[in-house]
Amino acid sequence: MSTVNREIHLASRPTGWPTAENFRLVEAAVPTPGPGQIVVRNQYVSVDPYMRGRMNDVKSYVPPYRLDAPLDGGAVGEVVASQAEGFDPGDVVLHGLGWREYALLDATAARPVDPTLAPVTAYLSVLGMTGLTAYAGLLEVAAMKPGETVFVSAAAGAVGSLVGQIATLKGAGRVIGSAGSAAKVDRLRALGFDAAFDYHDGPVRDSLAAAAPDGVDVYFDNVGGDHLEAAIAAMNLHGRAAICGMIAQYNATEPPAAPRNLAQVIGKRLTLRGFLVADHGHLREQFVTEVAGWLREGKLSYDETIVDGLDQAPEAFLGLLRGDNLGKMLVRV
């Protein structure tokens, strides 16, 4: 075991789009576990859009990242040292201290995963927070019913691609996705989306109207901005939007103006509801059972974009914001 740990620190807070200069690779000593603690050598770390918000120094639902300290986020790795009962070297665990090679944590903050049941990366994506976000947002927050038309933005992303497939598996009448390239649109069709469009091809409102001639009942929002405005315009009476993310504005330096048609929520009796997966842990058991079943039966696919090397994590994150990824963006440490 190396004695040198490598960590990605936040060197400065981005204004607008982040750059490589906002991050710094720092070498430190590999930590030693105290009583009740373990040290984990991370194998994969998760890179997620919500991390952009934590780079700002604003009060939010999670504290901002500190300057000159390692970033954090979901990770899976192997226990290499343990002073905690029930954890032995070689165990694979899921935890929240990514963006570093070796993580020191209280064993209570780690959850063992079984690498024989699924690839370890699945615990960061389809069987992890990403999958539960899709499942809870679609079925609990938006309360999708069989026969309804579902629209999901950023549909080739980690969450979006699961939303669309779960919608179909749960009996949606029509599933529509938007994405940022022709290749992604092709992928959505291969995943079984009934319609898909590249949002660069014209106003989202027009593309959505063409794809949803009978309107939209459920909108799963990962983008905000013009996508949310288009969805409000297309939504049917009593439509519901589960607001998961607004990636279109994470790097905005001016607050966005959209949606200009918000008043339509009255006449159409629409519900717009923001949510965080952390509030939906009560669904986890049902989610794992159902999703693991679909995976076993080959009914659910999940894409991963894996970038090699912890030092490439900032670039992976920048690529995620640009939309370079198909499915879940991960870094192999």
In the complex, what is the shortest distance from the CB of residue 192 to its own copies, in angstroms, rounded to a whole number?
28
Strands in 123-182 per DSSP E: 149-152, 174-179
Q: Which is nearer to its own copies, 128 or 239 (CB)?
A: 239
Site for its own copies in 244-263 (CB under 8 A): 244-246, 249, 255-257, 259-263
The verdict on 268 binding its own copies (CB under 8 A) reads yes
**Least distance to its own copies from the beta carbon of 305, Å?**
24
CA distance 180 to 178: 7
Judged by CB under 8 A, the residue of 243, 291, 318, 321 near its own copies is: 243
Binding segment for its own copies (CB under 8 A), chosen from 29-37, 98-106, 181-189, 267-275, is 267-275
**244, 219 in Cβ contact below 8 A?**
no
Residue holding tokens 């995963």?
113
Q: Which run of H or E residues covers position 98?
A: none
Hey, which residues between 211 and 240 contact its own copies (CB under 8 A)?
Answer: 224, 228, 237
Would you give the distance in Å from CA 114 to the centre of its chain?
22
CB distance 155 to 219 below 8 Å: no
* Smallest separation (angstroms) from its own copies to the CB of 152: 16
269: left (phi over 0), alpha (psi -120 to 50) or beta: left
Closer CB to its own copies, residue 50 or residue 197? 50
Distances in whole angstroms, Cα of residue 259 to Cα of each of 49, 118, 226, 243: 21, 41, 7, 13
DSSP 220-256: EESS-HHHHHHHHHHEEEEEEEEE---GGGTT-SS--
How many residues touch its own copies under the rule CB under 8 A: the total is 33
Q: Which is nearer to its own copies, 141 or 162 (CB)?
A: 141
Please classify residue 58 by burial: count the beta carbons closer than 10 Å to its beta carbon, then call 0-12 exposed, 13-18 middle and 19+ buried: exposed
46 to 105, contacts with its own copies by CB under 8 A? 53, 60-61
- Of these, 1, 266, 289, 297, which contacts its own copies (CB under 8 A)? 266
- Our CB check for its own copies shows the closer of 164 and 259 to be 259
- Tell me how far apart the alpha carbons of residues 8 and 326 are, in angstroms, rounded to a whole number: 24
89: its two tokens: 């070297």
CB of 133 to its own copies, least distance (A): 11
Which C-beta is closer to its own copies: that of 93 or that of 144? 144
Decide whether 79 or 248 has the Cβ nearer to its own copies: 248
Which range binds its own copies by CB under 8 A, 65-73, 174-182, 243-251, 292-300?
Answer: 243-251
Placement of tokens 């906002």 in the chain: 22
Residue 143 as a binder of its own copies (CB under 8 A): the answer is no
The residues that touch its own copies, with contacts defined as CB under 8 A, are 53, 60-61, 224, 228, 237, 243-246, 249, 255-257, 259-276, 279
